[in-house]
Amino acid sequence: MNPLRAVIVAEPGEGAHELLRILGGEAYEVELVHPDQVYTRPAQAPGPDLVLISAALGLRRLSLASLQFAEGGRLPNTLVFPEGDGYALLEACVRAGYEYIAPPYLPGLVRLRLTSCLERGAMTLAADEMSVVASLHEVKRELSIAHQIQAGFLPEAVPVLDDWQIDSRFRPAREVSGDFFDVFELPRCGHVGLVVADVCDKGVPAALFMALIRTLIRHTAQNADEFLLEGQGDQGATSALLEAVAGTNRYLALNHPRQAYFATMFFGMLDPLTGELLYINAGHNPPLLVDGRSGLATQLPLTGPAVGMLPDSDFVVERATLAPGDSLFVYTDGVVEARGPEGDFFGMDRLNAIVQQVARGPRVGASSLNAAVDSGLRKHVGSAEQYDDITMLTACYTATAA
């Protein structure tokens, strides 16, 4: 049996040399290629089974580098890896759909990750062949079942609150999604939990982690609420909020390090009697607090890192206030990163323009705000394929100002 062949595309550095050493130890034929070097395949040799490319190249150079290894119009199994502290670049590559591998580069973990990538590539190749049409029908059936199961993790209905309107929109890009939202009451502290989160990656693996994280967040928050004294209010809500986010983070980081999954998350605790909002923004897109009088939208900043990366991450609870007529609009990156036919993003400018227009209009409400953004998205995307999951959750304070 011929050994597997791997090519590492990177400038010489610690990460590249560590992967070079480990792959050699795993009996790969491995070659280090400089990004500016034109790859020349040895005569009569097949193309590489795996290509590992440094995320430090950026998406454009990374895409060009991978194209030179294509055979018959098919790209090889490609993974990206970080160099130094360039995890922001790695995250951008992952969001663009690339497989990835990240430190620590332990031989066993590297072997599992590469094997998984090769198997996934083989499945994709097999799915393209006519001989597996029957199997594809079975896969579609199972994905349909997975879709139905995942739908059961989303709230069938949101709590009905006096002087509040809460509305959601959820459009997965595939049968199953890594996005989720949740709305639930915490009766002892008198607050309502509002959660929107986005698990890195797509498809079934992300959906499985979505189900796990959603369960952990809700169970931990509600369990903390059960031990509170009646009427503890903000103090109890702060405690439940911190325990839910920090506890979920610890569990994922300590019990699932091999999967290397993480999730961005916004978790808010809303007091429906006062409009006070306690929140943690864990690496998530900044929600918009929309002033019902001026229409101006204020972004709620980050208060901590994404959930599931490091067990001892610090999360800070911040506070905001919604006055009568104000709205809170929470969304995932599938909204602002929705691409039009020419590849241009929907972006924050378009989102802000729609939100402000609705806020200044005569019929302000959670459903009308979500409907306007959704309509704007569909118009922008047009005939282009939906690139990412789209989730929106809006809470509007409908009470009449005193």
User: When comparing pLDDT for 46 and 6, which is higher?
Assistant: 6
pLDDT at position 353 over 50: yes
pLDDT in tens, 199-239: 887 777 777 888 888 889 988 888 887 765 455 557 878 88
> Over pLDDT 70: what percentage of the chain?
87
Contacts 24+ apart (CB under 8 A), 212-216: 212/252, 213/180, 213/248, 213/252, 213/263, 213/265, 213/307, 213/308, 214/153, 214/180, 214/182, 215/153, 216/244, 216/247, 216/248, 216/251, 216/252
Tell me the average pLDDT across 292-300: 90
Q: What is the pLDDT of residue 239?
A: 85
Tell me the average pLDDT across 293-302: 92
pLDDT at position 1 over 70: no
Q: What is the pLDDT of residue 370?
A: 94
Q: What residue ranges define each of the domains in the chain, with the CATH number in brackets?
A: 5-128 (3.40.50.2300), 147-397 (3.60.40.10)
Beta-carbon contacts of residue 387 (< 8 Å; ≥ 6 apart): 173, 334, 337, 338, 339
Mean pLDDT score of the chain: 84
Q: Which of 97, 164, 206, 202 is nearest to 327 (CA)?
A: 164
pLDDT at position 369 over 60: yes
Please name every residue paired with 273 in a beta bridge, in sequence order, or none if there are none: none
pLDDT in tens, 17-47: 888 888 887 778 888 888 888 777 766 667 7
Tell me the average pLDDT across 351-360: 89
Q: How confident is the model at residue 276 (pLDDT cuts 50, 70, 90)?
A: very high
pLDDT at position 402 over 60: no
pLDDT at position 362 over 60: yes
Q: What is the pLDDT of residue 139?
A: 56
Q: How confident is the model at residue 132 (pLDDT cuts 50, 70, 90)?
A: very low
Tell me the average pLDDT across 167-178: 83
Separation between Cα atoms, residue 20 and residue 42, nearest integer Å: 19
pLDDT at position 259 over 70: yes
Residue with tokens 């999951």: 389
β-pairing, 50-54 with 29-33? unpaired
Residue 137 in 3-state DSSP? helix
